[in-house]
Amino acid sequence: MAEDTFRRGRADVLLVTAAAPAREASYDDVRRVREAVPEAPVLVASGVTDRTVARALREAHGALVGSWLKRDGRVAAPVDRERVRALVEAAKG
């Protein structure tokens, strides 16, 4: 599926997500996608928090973070500056 999406579908990047929102993506899946399409940029796109961002950045080319950056992790809430700071610090390694 990753090969088809990247090559035939001409995707710019491949996202690896979990089966349900806010759950952590499988790093086995990340490795399988990177092995299947080594030339493709691969991003972890679910479950990224201040506790998981370092691993996401080690295993993939980057990460997408959405609702975790919002106050109390609620999509409709405003961005929580403290969560942003915590994520950036954790991402630095």
Number of folded domains that form the chain: 1
Q: Give per-residue pLDDT as tens, 64-88.
A: 999 999 999 999 999 999 999 999 9
What's the domain range around 30?
A: 2-65
92 occurs within a structural domain: no
14 occurs within a structural domain: yes
**Distance (Å, rounded) from C-alpha 53 to C-alpha 89?**
10
Please classify residue 18 by burial: count the beta carbons closer than 10 Å to its beta carbon, then call 0-12 exposed, 13-18 middle and 19+ buried: middle
Q: Give per-residue pLDDT as tens, 27-57.
A: 999 999 999 999 999 999 999 999 999 999 9
pLDDT of 53: 97
pLDDT of 93: 76
- Kindly report the three-state secondary structure assignment for every residue of 11-67: CCCEEECCCCCCCCCCHHHHHHHHHHCCCCCEEECCCCCCCCHHHHHHHCCEECCCH
pTM: 0.89
pLDDT of 88: 97
Q: Indicate which CATH number applies to the domain containing 22.
A: 3.40.50.2300
